[in-house]
Chains A and B, each alone.
Chain A
Amino acid sequence: MRAQPKVEPFRVGIARMSESSAATVGMAIERFARDQFAIVSSKLAQVLIVDADRIIGRETLQGLSAEHPGIPLVVLSSSEIQTDNGLVLKKPVSIQGVLEAVRNIRARAAVAADPAPTQPIDSGAGKIEDAGQPTPAARAPEQARKPAAVEHATPARKPRISREDDCCGDAEDILVQGRPDKFDRARTHFDDRSGLLGAFRAAVDHGRVHGKAVTVTGLSDALYVDAGTAGQPARVITRLDDGALRAACAPDAGTTLQFYTIAAVPQSSKDWRRIGLESMLWNLSLWSSQGRLPNAIDAHARVRLTRWPNFTRCAVTPQALRIAALWVTRFLTPIEVAKVLGVPQRYVLALCAAADAAGLLERQAIAAAESADTLAPAALPAAPAPTRGLFRRILGKLLHAR
Chain B
Amino acid sequence: MRAKRNHHKIVFTGPVGAGKTTAIASISDIEPVRTDASASDMTIKRKNNTTVAMDYGMLRLPGGEKVMLYGTPGQERFDFMWEILTEGGIGLVLLLDNTRVQPLQDMRFFLDAFRDFVARTQVVIGITHSDEKATPSLSEYHSALRAHGIERPVPIFEADARSFDDVSLLVRSLLHSLDPGLEDADA
Contact = CB atoms under 8 A, between A and B. Distances in A.
Interface in B88-118: 90
Given A308-B153, A394-B61, A231 B134 contact: yes
Interface stretch (A40-48, A317-325, A369-377): A317-325
Interface size class of A (residues with CB under 8 A): 35 or more
A326 interface: yes
| Interface bin, chain B | 35 or more
Contacts of A233: 134-135, 137
Contact of B172 (A321, A326, A380): A321
B180 A380 contact: yes
Nearest to A322: B176
Interface stretch (A3-11, A177-185, A286-294, A382-390): A382-390
A341 B135 CA distance: 35
A397 B186 contact: no
A310 B186 contact: no
B158 A312 contact: yes
B183 interface: yes
Contact of B8 (A231, A390, A400, A402): A390
B171 interface: yes
B175 interface: yes
A329 B169 contact: no
Contacts of B23: none
Contacts of B168: 398-399, 401
Given A308-B155, A393-B62, A381 B181 contact: yes
A93 interface: no
A127 B8 CA distance: 62
* B interface majority secondary structure: mixed
B154 interface: yes
B169 A387 contact: no
A380 B181 contact: yes
B27 A396 contact: no
Interface in B123-181: 126, 133-135, 137-139, 142, 153-160, 163-166, 168-173, 175-181
Interface string A300-325: 00000001101111001011011011
B184 interface: yes
Nearest to B90: A387
Contact of B158 (A235, A313, A319, A400): A313
A399 B185 contact: yes
Nearest to B179: A385
A162 interface: yes
Contact of B186 (A276, A399, A402): A399
B164 A319 contact: no
A237 to B, nearest CB: 13
Contacts of A391: 175, 178-179, 182
A380 B178 CA distance: 12
Interface in B45-85: 59-62, 65, 67
A307 B153 contact: yes
Nearest to B153: A328
A378 to B, nearest CB: 11
A22 interface: no
Given A318-B187, A322-B180, A308 B158 contact: no
Interface of A: 56, 161-163, 230-233, 235, 276, 278, 307-308, 310-313, 316, 318-319, 321-322, 324-326, 328-329, 341, 343, 380-381, 384-385, 387-388, 390-402
Interface of B: 8, 27, 59-62, 65, 67, 90, 126, 133-135, 137-139, 142, 153-160, 163-166, 168-173, 175-187
Top 10 closest A-B pairs, CB basis?
A396-B185, A328-B153, A395-B185, A325-B176, A325-B180, A308-B155, A380-B181, A312-B157, A321-B176, A326-B180
Given A233-B135, A312-B163, A380-B181, 4 more contacts: A233-B137, A329-B153, A394-B67, A399-B185
21 contacts: A161-B186, A162-B186, A231-B133, A233-B134, A233-B137, A307-B153, A308-B173, A311-B155, A312-B126, A322-B184, A329-B153, A385-B178, A385-B182, A387-B178, A388-B179, A394-B59, A394-B67, A395-B182, A398-B59, A398-B171, A399-B184
